[in-house]
Structures are given as structure tokens and as C-alpha cells.
Amino acid sequence: MARYLIMETLDDVEVVYGELETAARGIAGLAWLGCGMELKGIYGNRFVVRTRTKCLKWVRAAAASLGRPVITVRVTGSARKARALAKSLKPLYAPSGFT
């Protein structure tokens, strides 16, 4: 079954996604063969990642292990809800210059 992670970062989303996939693959090892990640959408500094339910723990661990600010905002079961949440939730990282 697929799950959709809504993630937020301050850095370039495409670079962060590449590093996230590499880190998750390294953490999971051979167990990653039954997994996979797919970038489903980019919404400003947020992005939606599709992965299997059993692989969530490795993707979230990879996000925590990156040297970049990346957080998981929500996990949901449908692409439609993930897209709606990514567009509607308030940003967790304040824009630069915001006090």
C-alpha cells in the first residue's frame, strides 16, 4: 500500500530529494529492493514523496540524517489529500527576513 509524505525544506527541493533517496537506500540496505520512492509534486518549498508503507521508517530516518533542514509535515494515504495539504498548510519554516 502506498503512503504519501509531505516534506518541507529550505534548500533546493530536487537536490534534497536526490540526497533523501540515496540516504534511504543506504539505511535500508537490501530491504530497499522491495521499496522505492517517487517525487509526486513540488509546491514551493514543499514536496510530496510516494513510498510503500513498510518503507516509511527508512525515508523518515533518511530525512533526519541529512545535513539539511528537512522535516516531514504529514503522512497521508492518498495523492489527492497530500496535494491539498501541501498547498494549504502554513509553512513550518519561516521565510528569510521574517521576524
pLDDT at 98: 54
In a domain, 84, yes or no: no
Q: Residue 25 belongs to what domain range?
A: 2-73
Give the strand pairing for 70-76 and 2-9: antiparallel
The CATH number given to whatever domain includes residue 30 is 3.30.70.330
Q: What is the pLDDT of residues 6-65, one digit of tens each?
A: 999 998 999 999 999 999 999 999 988 988 899 999 998 899 999 999 999 999 999 999
- Measured CA to CA, the distance from residue 93 to residue 73 in angstroms comes to 11
Closest CA to 36 of 21, 19, 26: 21
Is position 27 within any domain? Answer: yes
Position 49 in a domain = yes
Residue 29 phi/psi, 5-degree rounding, is 70, -135
pTM of the entire predicted model: 0.86
In a domain, 59, yes or no: yes
| Residue 33 half-sphere exposure toward CB, CA atoms < 13 A | 3
62 touches 24 (CB < 8 A): yes
Domain count, the chain: 1
